Amino acid sequence: MAAPAVAMRGIAKRFGAVQANRDVDLSVAAGTIHGIVGENGAGKSTLMAILYGFYQADAGTIAIDGRPVQIRHSGEAIALGIGMVHQHFMLVESFSALDNILLGAEPNWQLGRARAQLRRRLEALMHDTGLQVRLDELVEDLPVGERQRLEILKALVRGARLLILDEPTAVLTPQETQQLFATLRQLRARGTTVLLITHKLKEIMALCDAVTVMRGGQVVLDCAIADTSVDALAEAMVGRRVQLGRTEGDSAAPGEVLLEAQGLTWRDALGVARLDDVSLALREREIVGIAGVSGNGQSELLDALAGLLVPQAGTLTLGGRRFEPAHWLDPATARALALAHVPEDRHRRGLVLPFPMWESAVLGYQDAPRYRSHGLMDRARMGADTAEMMERYDVRPRAPGLRSATFSGGNQQKLVLAREALPAPRVLLVGQPTRGVDIGAIEFIHGRLRALRDAGGAVLLVSTELDEILALADRVLVMAGGRIAGELPIAEADEARLGALMGGAALAA
């Protein structure tokens, strides 16, 4: 038998009191796609960081293609044919795509010749792999799917035979995801080995040849895809059965209208209508889902309703007050009227990553009377409230003084949700609540959103995950081209009908 592409044996890694990896064995067959799954904090990213040379293991061995190796830094990993595409892309946005690939690999001072040589190699590689990227475009002008293709090209052109992908579909549209899967299958056919870290178990089942499940820093399941199922993987990840779908009797009894928008229209600087005559109503005891491919106006709708964007036309009624473009809602007024907002991008809008978590936990609420003492911020009260949020929303570790950036994505998301949901708002706007979040945290977040609804609140849920919309929503609106393309009660909604509306088809009479 051929030697495995990767064989890691007895890997251990500790960070202070946290044992991130504990006696981990991992074997990956060459020319396969191998999934690695686990909850946030299970140790999978640490294991991959050791393989890529970011960390040094405290114990254990690594063999590449049957040959024992030491990987002391990422340069040695690249020399061994290992490439890594991170969840948050490592790109310079003001550079062209070509210069991003050249950066760090300049052969000499003759950059003009180096660019020309690199361009020829990339054009041949793009032809062979189907990974098309506009090499002369600035990265800031590339859509997210093309940026990801750029990262993969960057690894392949440097000789990667083993490709590590960390949450590769977290920010992709369904179409971009399918394009990525086609590319990965093509790379596998060419002999490339792919290690795929993801929380999306359906993707694991659809794409991978084998899967390793980690929990608490250890491997708890390692098997061929043919020998497992989504339910079995979920139970192995969490250590118990997980309920994500709708339960019997889970239905709403909508009450009075709490928020109503009429004719919202907003055009960007180029005159493109991102919101085009959008109207909707949110009622108490109801979750309204907004489905659609990213970029069809969902983000602008959330911003307009939260007071972060002023439309050029339309009205908004909230808490008995009517707002028009000349005097639009602002975020402070929104909070005073019991409207809360969980933004789509927790890093850019939900947290300040260098801040300790107790500061991120009071953002937007720092001027509340309970946080003021003789005109100064009451840090002790803020810290105590953050500790309570962490306890009630199972944010780990329970350490309000740690930097926000040190928490995993799922724990960051739970903290943002706790900050916005614990004051019991009448209206909660939620964007992509489980993006990049593990299955245990998904179950927890879904439960909190249902609880807020059942307590009399109205929830507007924006998600590109149709499974999430179908699991949570009582009523579904579909956006396409900045407009509401259709509305369905949940009893009539399925992936086929929603997908057709997302593509611009009209509902049958």
CB neighbourhood size of 153 (10 A): 24
| Contact yes or no for 52/82 (Cβ under 8 A) | yes
Please indicate whether the domains covering 6-238 and 257-502 agree at the CATH topology level: yes
- CA dist 188 to 123, 162, 191, 222, Å? 20, 10, 5, 20
pLDDT at 484: 95
The residues, any chain, with a CB within 8 Å of residue 91's CB and separated by 6 or more, are 100, 139, 147, 150, 151
pLDDT at 412: 92
pLDDT tens for 314-339 read 999 999 999 999 999 999 999 999 99
Read off the tokens for 215. Answer: 């929990």
- Across the strands, what pairs with 64? 6, 67
- CA dist 367 to 373, 377, 388, 424, 444, Å? 11, 8, 19, 18, 29
pLDDT at 327: 97
pLDDT at 396: 84
Read off the tokens for 235. Answer: 């139970």
The residues, any chain, with a CB within 8 Å of residue 211's CB and separated by 6 or more, are 34, 35, 36, 37, 204, 221, 222, 223, 225, 228, 233
Q: How, if at all, do strands 475-480 and 483-489 pair?
A: antiparallel
Amino acid in position 317: T
CATH architecture label of 6-238:
3-Layer(aba) Sandwich (3.40)
pLDDT at 247: 64
Helices (H) and strands (E) in the chain, counts: 16, 22
Domain boundaries, the chain: 6-238, 257-502
Read off the tokens for 382. Answer: 């803020």
CATH architecture label of 257-502:
3-Layer(aba) Sandwich (3.40)
- Across the strands, what pairs with 487? 477
pLDDT at 509: 41
Amino acid in position 447: G
Site of tokens 């994505």 = 409
pLDDT at 42: 87
Q: How many whole angstroms separate alpha carbon 339 and alpha carbon 316?
A: 13
pLDDT tens for 121-144 read 999 989 888 888 999 999 988 877
> 0.85 exceeded by the pTM?
no
| Under-70 pLDDT residues of the chain | 1, 107-109, 171, 173-174, 245-252, 505-509
pLDDT at 173: 66
Q: How many whole angstroms separate alpha carbon 410 and alpha carbon 352?
A: 16
Q: How many whole angstroms separate alpha carbon 138 and alpha carbon 131?
A: 17
Q: How many whole angstroms separate alpha carbon 398 and alpha carbon 470?
A: 33
- CA dist 482 to 47, 309, 311, 410, Å? 42, 15, 13, 30
Please report the beta strands in 167-209, taking only residues with DSSP state E, as ranges in sequence order.
193-197
| Contact yes or no for 55/63 (Cβ under 8 A) | no
pLDDT at 507: 53
Read off the tokens for 378. Answer: 């009451």
Residues in the chain: 509
CB neighbourhood size of 367 (10 A): 11
Q: How, if at all, do strands 6-15 and 59-64 pair?
A: antiparallel
Q: How many whole angstroms separate alpha carbon 351 and alpha carbon 360?
A: 5
Helical pair 174-189 and 144-157, crossing angle rounded to 10 deg: 20
pLDDT at 145: 78
| Contact yes or no for 265/250 (Cβ under 8 A) | no
pLDDT at 199: 81
Site of tokens 């009450």 = 255
The residues, any chain, with a CB within 8 Å of residue 107's CB and separated by 6 or more, are 114
Of the CA atoms within 13 Å of residue 489, those in its CB half-sphere come to 6
